[in-house]
Amino acid sequence: CVRLAAWIFLLLLPGLSDGGKLLVVPMDGSHWLSMRQVVEKLTERGHEVVVVIPEVSWQMGMTQAYTVKTYPVSFTLEELDGAFHEYVHSHLKGLPFPQNALALYNSSIAVFNVFFSHCKDLFRNRELMQYLNQSDFDALLTDPISLCGAIVANYFSLPFIFFMRGFPCGLHYTATQCPNPLSYVPRLFTFNSDRMTFFQRVENALVALLELGYCNGFYAEAMKFSSEVLQRDVSLLDLLTSASIWLLRFDYVLEYVRPVMPNMIFVGGINCVQKKPLSKVRSFSPDYTFSNEIGFFQIAHKESSYDLNTAKFRNVSYSNLSKLFLIFWVFLFFNHKTPITHLNNWVT
C-alpha cells in the first residue's frame, strides 16, 4: 500500500505526469481577468495551454506563462471603448421599465456585435485555424457569453467547458434543463428580488415570455455566423447544450437556490485570496441520532466549542438520500444566526 501511494504521489506531481492539451478562447474584460488565474494554474500543473486572443483588446496580452496566438481584427480600440461607454451609460440613465429594458437591450446588442466581430476575424485567419486544427487539443475552455468558443469547439469537434459568472435570459439553466420558477427567480431587467408581490410576478411572467425572442435577437448575428461556419442550421440552445461542463463562478446559496445538473459545478470564490481556516468557534453543536425503526430524528443539541475541521455527524445512516437532506436542513437551522432567505423561500 505504501509503494502504491508513493507511485500515485509521483504521478500527481506537476511535470512528472502527462498533462492535457487545452485550447482557451476567452472573453475580454473582467471575464478574462477571472479566467486568467485558472489558466495560469493549469499551466503550473503541467498542462499545455494555448490561448487565442485578438490583437486589439483591453486586458489580454502576451505572457511567458502559456502559449498565446494572436490574430488581426477589423475593429479599433477606440471603437471598442466607444461601444462599451455607451453600454455603461445606458445603465446610468435611470429610466423606468420598460424604457430601461429597451435602452439596455440596444446598447447590449451594439457592444456584443463589436465583441463578436473578432470571432469572424478568427475564422477568416486560415493560417491560425489550420494551426488549431492540427494541434490535437483535448478540450476547449471558454466563456459562453460571446459564443465564439462554443462555435470553435463545435467546428473542431472538441469537448468544451464553460467558465462563467452569468448569462442573459437564464440560458445556463434553460440549456441544462434546470428549474427556473417564475414566482421565485426574477427575470433580467425587472430588478425584482426573490420576494415579489403579485403584480411583480405578473411582470416577471411577461418578461419571461419575451426572453426567448430577446436572446434570439441578441445572438442573431452569432447564430447566423455559426450556421454558415458549421454548414447546418444551428439554434442558440444547440450550441449551449453540447457543453461538457459548466463551471459557475458564483455561490449556490446566494444565487436563487435550485436543483442543478451533475455537470454544473459551483466554483464561487475561486479568485479570492486564500485565508487561514477558522480553528474554533462558539456555536451550537447538534448531536444527531437516527432511529431506523420509527423513522424520525431525535435531535439533542447543547452549546459547546468544537473544531470546524473535525466536526462530524454521529450515528447517521447515509443510505437514504431523503435522510441526508433532512440532516442538511437541521444543520443549517442550528448553525446559522440569521435565516437563509433563499433556501427558505425555495422550500416553502
What CATH number has the domain bearing residue 110?
3.40.50
Bridge partner list, 75 = none
The C-alpha cell that represents 170 in the structure block: 437564464
Question: Dihedrals φ, ψ of 229, to 5°?
Answer: -70, -45
Q: Does the residue 272 lie in any domain? A: no
d(CA 274, CA 252): 19
What integer pLDDT is reported at residue 119 of this predicted model?
93
Question: Dihedrals φ, ψ of 286, to 5°?
Answer: -75, 140
Which of 236, 266, 296 is a domain's end point? 266
Q: Does the residue 131 lie in any domain? A: yes
What integer pLDDT is reported at residue 281 of this predicted model?
56
Alpha-carbon separation of residue 334 from 139, 301, 330, 339, 342 (angstroms):
43, 9, 6, 10, 17
d(CA 171, CA 175): 6
What integer pLDDT is reported at residue 275 of this predicted model?
65
**Residues 304 and 335: beta-carbon distance below 8 Å:** no
Residues 97 and 195 in one domain: yes
DSSP state letters, 223-278:
HHHHHHHHTS---HHHHHHT-SEEEE-S-TTTTT-----TTEEE-TTTTSPP-PPP
What is the residue range of 149's domain? 17-266
d(CA 132, CA 134): 5
Residues 286 and 261 in one domain: no
Q: Which of 91, 111, 89, 112 is nearest to 101 (CA)?
A: 91
Residues 259 and 299 in one domain: no
d(CA 288, CA 52): 53
Residues 129 and 155 in one domain: yes
What integer pLDDT is reported at residue 278 of this predicted model?
66
Report the number of distinct structural domains present in the chain. 2
Q: If the chain, 348 residues long, is cut into consecutive pieces of 10 residues, what is the mean pLDDT of each piece?
A: 40 56 90 87 91 87 84 87 84 77 82 88 95 94 92 95 87 87 80 86 86 83 93 91 91 79 87 68 46 36 36 39 46 43 35
Residues 208 and 310 in one domain: no
